[in-house]
């Protein structure tokens, strides 16, 4: 009886503690996962920032409709990258310290990534670099809280160069017209260093770096018409790329030279009849609303169609990059919860889960390497006018695996390029024709 | 080498013509009203958006694209009169007597508001309207293809505007009144000139010229948010190089900046971005009042 009394008391105590601990466990699950996103909603780069924001809003709605991540809905906070570095830094800090966001997605601009990644480390907040391209961040320091959910400039440039070397191997001269800022300079440095290793006889006949946002490229086009290069590279984007293409087309430059435009997937719908056939265009990853491997996939089609319906345009690469960041976020919480015995994970456990994370947005699956860099495939092809759309589509596509065309984890891109041999040109790629 | 120089001159003249059209409005407004209008670049952008919208409307209605040329003038005048007139009448008139820093801040605020308004109305994706450029076709010079619009039409319009402004200011009563207010506002007011009306007229002309520059640039460039900011910086460089308030000086400075930029593209591309400011600094080092400016005693 005595023992029975003790047992009953123990059982009662255990029951009480279970009852008490149930709400305590539930309280660990927050009311919402707060996500702070930096994107351009003003200035020239809003051609990327606004589609990125629209994609984020659409994806958050979709996730919340199915109950959120691990049962917790998302709440988004946006900061305008166009407001300038100081305001952006102050706003970022405010989001983390005052709004207590759980995760940030920063940024589009490489300069902003360079500024914000050390801050994310200081504030100990998980940051997903959703769109910026500079390869330097993970090559120049170790990070715990910063991860990139897409590629960097190195594979983007190598894919463009390989496509050129595979499809137009006989060119002898090249010129570059890039925007005069970090991306324009860095991308040319990578491209030209690799070109020098793989085809050292090619002569660079003009290196032009007009101002970012330049309204006119007449003088550059005159010089290119006079220099008659076999190939013209431009990693320009947005209004600058559109103006360059339109002025060059009007003056017949496309008839003289092969253009390589690694970011032109984002301009196809705007340029419509201005962009002739046969121009080599890339998409900063394997991003294309007619992705040859996924265009018939129900999920992919649903994303493309809903985006088109909501915004009036097909998704371009920033929208796909945003989808990859959201896919990484979901995958990280799921992985962390699984490692936490099914319970909702704390912030540090989510950061732990990012190591080696595998996830998929609307392109090929992506893996986070030990240096926190994502491995993202690269799609590249040439423009072709068909009757299917009122703008040129991408044909004769090649998709390169990421690992084959970028420096290994912990390596530096320029040193890796220095070590490239002639065999690099034979890097395999999967080839696709439009509609096949 | 000689044919490269010809190409550089052609490109420089074409670019300088467009810059002149925008900068001359800024310099006129400063010359008469002594106000540095930071919102001037917004009128360039609004002119471009208005011209492109009207042009695209023409295309949608199936009307002749040649009508786009008179429509450019209509678009520029509409922006200058409606937006410029409203800005001067309801805002600037209240701050003429205040210090220059406040004027700069107020016009900067207007610039920000108009920039956001453009984004609200036209969105963030670039607009194009290149039909007028195609209509005039191409010309070949030294084996290089140019658009007639840029190397013939734009310089002709710039010359016409320069001559018209000279005639207006020196041969018409309204022009004489403007010059009188510019020379001595108090004396002009004392003899019965309505300075407020002169200010309104001047501001509308200045902003119409900026809008005309934007409208004429529309067929050659991408029209997008932020385009006004670049042009205002360039216009300030032209106005400072010329000497603030100098109409002919603005033409010479715009030409110098256009030529400097295009020669840089051909012979020293790394200097292209710097060229307008290098020219400005060099001129101001030698002549702090600008190429055509007059040194005046400062009232304290």
Structure tokens given for B188 = 């002009």
Using CB atoms, pick whichever of B138, B221, B266 lies closest to residue A215: B221
Domain that holds residue B210: 24-226
**Could you tell me which of A181, A152, A223, A217 has the C-alpha nearest to residue A378?**
A152
Q: Looking at residue B296, what is its pLDDT? A: 62
Distance CA A274, CA A249 (A): 7
Q: Looking at residue B121, what is its pLDDT? A: 93
> CA angle at residue A340 from A338 to A345, to 5 degrees?
100
Query: Cα-flanking dihedrals φ and ψ of residue B177, to 5°?
Result: -65, -40
Q: Which helix (H) or strand (E) element contains residue A373?
A: none
> CA angle at residue A133 from A79 to A60, to 5 degrees?
45
**pTM of the predicted model as reported, rounded to 2 decimal places:** 0.87
pLDDT in tens, chain A (436 residues): 344 455 455 555 544 444 444 444 444 789 999 999 999 988 778 889 999 999 999 999 999 999 999 999 999 999 999 888 999 999 999 999 999 999 999 999 988 999 999 999 999 999 999 999 999 999 998 999 999 999 999 999 999 999 999 999 999 999 999 999 889 999 999 999 999 999 999 999 999 999 888 888 999 999 999 999 999 999 999 889 999 999 999 999 999 999 999 999 999 998 888 899 999 999 999 999 999 999 999 999 999 999 999 999 999 999 999 999 999 999 999 999 999 999 999 999 999 999 999 999 999 999 999 999 999 999 999 999 998 899 999 999 999 999 999 999 999 999 999 999 999 999 999 999 998 7
| A321-335: pLDDT as tens digits | 999 999 999 999 999
| B34-58: pLDDT as tens digits | 888 999 999 999 999 999 999 999 9
Q: Give the long-range contacts of residues B78-82, CB within 8 A, separation 24 or more.
A: B78/B50, B79/B43, B79/B46, B79/B47, B79/B50, B79/B207, B79/B208, B79/B211, B80/B43, B80/B204, B80/B205, B80/B206, B80/B207, B80/B208, B80/B209, B80/B210, B80/B211, B81/B204, B81/B208
Distance CA A148, CA A151 (A): 7
For residue A239, the chain B residues in CB contact (below 8 A) are 126, 221-222, 224, 227
Q: Identify whether B291 is part of a domain.
A: no
| B114-135: pLDDT as tens digits | 998 998 999 888 888 889 999 9
Q: Taking CA atoms, what residue in A is nearest to B125?
A: A47
Residues 16-45 of B with CB under 8 A from A: 18
For residue A313, the chain B residues in CB contact (below 8 A) are 125
Q: Which helix (H) or strand (E) element contains residue B300?
A: none
Assess contact for B22 and B94: CB atoms under 8 A.
Answer: no
For residue A215, the chain B residues in CB contact (below 8 A) are 217, 220-222, 227, 230-231
Assess contact for A241 and A279: CB atoms under 8 A.
Answer: no
pLDDT-above-70 percentage for chain B: 97
- For residue A436, what are the contacts with CB-CB under 8 A and spacing of at least 6? A292
Q: Give how far A388 is from chain B: nearest CA, Å.
A: 22
Residue A255: how many other CB atoms lie within 10 Å: 10
Distance CA A161, CA A163 (A): 5
Interface of A to B at Cβ within 8 Å reads: 41-44, 46-47, 49-50, 180, 206-211, 213-216, 218-220, 222-223, 225-226, 238-240, 242-243, 246-247, 250-252, 270, 274, 313
Q: Identify whether B207 is part of a domain.
A: yes
Structure tokens given for A398 = 């090649």
Query: Cα-flanking dihedrals φ and ψ of residue A109, to 5°?
Result: -75, 135
* Residues making up chain B, counted from first to last: 300
Q: Are strands A33-39 and A103-105 parallel, antiparallel or unpaired?
A: parallel
| Structural domains present in chain A | 33-150+295-372 (3.40.50.2300), 154-283+377-432 (3.40.50.2300)
Q: Identify whether B86 is part of a domain.
A: yes
Cα separations (Å) of A249 from B148, B198, B199, B200, B273? 15, 46, 44, 43, 24
Taken in order B215, A267, A188, A256, is the CA torsion positive or negative? negative
Q: Give how far B5 is from chain A: nearest CA, Å.
A: 11
Residue B226 forms contact with A (CB below 8 Å): yes
Distance CA A359, CA B45 (A): 43
Residue B298: how many other CB atoms lie within 10 Å: 5
| B242-276: pLDDT as tens digits | 887 788 999 999 999 999 999 999 999 989 889 99
A89-118 CB burial, b ≥16 within 10 A, e <16? eebbeebbeeeebbbbbbbbbbbbbbbbbe
Q: Identify whether B158 is part of a domain.
A: yes
Residue B297 has pLDDT above 90, yes or no: no
Taken in order B67, A243, B144, B14, is the CA torsion positive or negative? positive
- How many folded domains does chain B comprise? 1
Task: State ipTM.
Answer: 0.86
3-state SS, residue A386: coil
Q: Identify whether B39 is part of a domain.
A: yes
A306-337 CB burial, b ≥16 within 10 A, e <16? ebeeebeebbbbbbbbbbbbbbbbbbbbbbbb
**Which residue stretches of A272-360 are H helix?**
298-311, 317-339, 347-354
What is the residue-wise DSSP string for B32-79?
A: HH----TTHHHHHHHHHHHHHHHHHHHHHHT--GGGHHHHHHHHHHHI
Give the number of beta-carbon pairs within 8 Å between A and B.
124
Query: Cα-flanking dihedrals φ and ψ of residue A411, to 5°?
Result: -85, 165
What DSSP character marks residue A315?
-
Q: Quick check: A243 and B10 CB within 8 A?
A: no
Taken in order B176, B177, B183, B188, is the CA torsion positive or negative? positive
Structure tokens given for B118 = 């453009």
Using CB atoms, pick whichever of B134, B150, B270 lies closest to residue A218: B150
Q: Identify whether B284 is part of a domain.
A: no
Q: Identify whether B265 is part of a domain.
A: no
Q: Identify whether B81 is part of a domain.
A: yes
């Amino acid at each position: 009886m005595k023992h029975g009394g003790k047992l009953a008391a123990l059982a009662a105590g255990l029951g009480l503690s279970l009852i008490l601990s149930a709400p305590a466990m539930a309280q660990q699950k927050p009311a919402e996962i707060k996500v702070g996103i930096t994107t351009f909603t003003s200035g020239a780069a809003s051609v990327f920032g606004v589609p990125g924001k629209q994609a984020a809003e659409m994806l958050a709605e979709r996730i919340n409709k199915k109950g959120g991540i691990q049962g917790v809905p998302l709440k988004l906070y946006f900061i305008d990258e166009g407001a300038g570095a100081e305001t952006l830094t102050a706003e970022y800090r405010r989001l983390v310290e005052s709004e207590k966001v759980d995760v940030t997605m920063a940024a589009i601009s490489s300069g902003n990534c360079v500024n914000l990644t050390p801050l994310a480390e200081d504030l100990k907040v998980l940051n997903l670099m959703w769109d910026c391209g500079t390869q330097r961040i993970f090559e120049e320091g170790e990070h715990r809280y910063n991860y990139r959910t897409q590629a960097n400039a190195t594979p983007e440039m190598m894919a463009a160069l390989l496509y050129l070397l595979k499809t137009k191997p006989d060119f002898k001269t090249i010129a570059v017209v890039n925007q005069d800022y970090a991306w324009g300079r860095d991308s040319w440095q990578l491209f030209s260093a690799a070109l020098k290793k793989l085809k050292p006889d090619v002569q660079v006949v003009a290196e032009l770096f007009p101002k970012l946002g330049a309204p006119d490229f007449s003088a550059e086009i005159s010089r290119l018409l006079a220099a008659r290069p076999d190939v013209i590279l431009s990693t320009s984007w947005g209004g600058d790329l559109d103006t360059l293409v339109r002025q060059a087309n009007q003056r017949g430059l496309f008839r003289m030279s092969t253009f390589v435009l690694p970011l032109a997937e984002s301009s196809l719908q705007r340029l419509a009849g201005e962009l002739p056939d046969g121009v080599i265009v890339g998409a900063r990853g394997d991003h294309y609303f007619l992705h040859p491997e996924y265009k018939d996939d129900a999920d992919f089609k649903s994303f493309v169609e809903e985006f088109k319906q909501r915004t009036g345009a097909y998704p371009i690469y920033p929208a796909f990059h945003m989808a990859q960041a959201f896919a990484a976020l979901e995958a990280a919480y799921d992985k962390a919860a699984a490692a936490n015995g099914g319970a909702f994970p704390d912030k540090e456990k989510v950061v732990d889960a990012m190591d080696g994370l595998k996830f998929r947005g609307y392109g090929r699956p992506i893996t986070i390497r030990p240096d926190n860099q994502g491995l993202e495939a690269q799609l590249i092809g040439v423009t072709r006018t068909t009757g299917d759309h009122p703008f040129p589509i991408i044909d004769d596509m090649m998709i390169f695996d990421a690992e084959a065309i970028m420096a290994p984890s912990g390596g530096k891109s320029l040193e890796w390029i220095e070590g490239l041999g002639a065999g690099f040109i034979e890097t395999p790629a999967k080839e696709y024709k439009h509609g096949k | 080498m000689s044919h490269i120089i010809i190409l550089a001159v052609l490109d420089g003249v074409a670019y300088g013509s467009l810059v002149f059209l925008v900068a001359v409005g800024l310099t006129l407004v400063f010359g008469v009203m002594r106000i540095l209008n930071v919102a001037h670049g917004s009128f360039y952008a609004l002119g471009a958006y208005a011209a492109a919208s009207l042009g695209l409307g023409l295309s949608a209605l199936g009307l002749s694209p040649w009508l786009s040329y008179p429509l450019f003038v209509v678009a520029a005048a509409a922006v200058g009169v409606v937006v410029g007139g409203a800005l001067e009448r309801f805002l600037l008139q209240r701050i003429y007597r205040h210090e220059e820093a406040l004027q700069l801040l107020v016009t900067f605020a207007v610039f920000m508001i108009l920039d956001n308004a453009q984004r609200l109305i036209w969105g963030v994706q670039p607009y194009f309207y290149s039909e007028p450029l195609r209509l005039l076709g191409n010309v070949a010079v030294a084996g290089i293809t140019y658009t007639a619009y840029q190397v013939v039409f734009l310089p002709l319009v710039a010359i016409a505007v320069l001559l018209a402004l000279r005639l207006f200011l020196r041969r018409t009563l309204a022009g004489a009144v403007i010059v009188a207010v510019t020379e001595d506002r108090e004396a002009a007011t004392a003899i019965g000139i309505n300075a407020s009306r002169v200010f309104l007229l001047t501001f509308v002309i200045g902003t119409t010229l900026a809008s005309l520059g934007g409208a004429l640039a529309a067929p050659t460039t991408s029209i997008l948010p932020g385009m006004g900011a670049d042009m205002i910086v360039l216009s300030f460089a032209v106005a400072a190089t010329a000497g603030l308030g100098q109409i002919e000086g603005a033409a010479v400075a715009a030409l110098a900046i256009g030529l400097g930029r295009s020669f840089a593209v051909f012979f020293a591309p790394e200097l292209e971005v710097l060229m307008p400011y290098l020219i400005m600094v060099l001129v101001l080092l030698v002549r702090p009042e600008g190429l055509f400016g007059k040194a005046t005693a400062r009232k304290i």
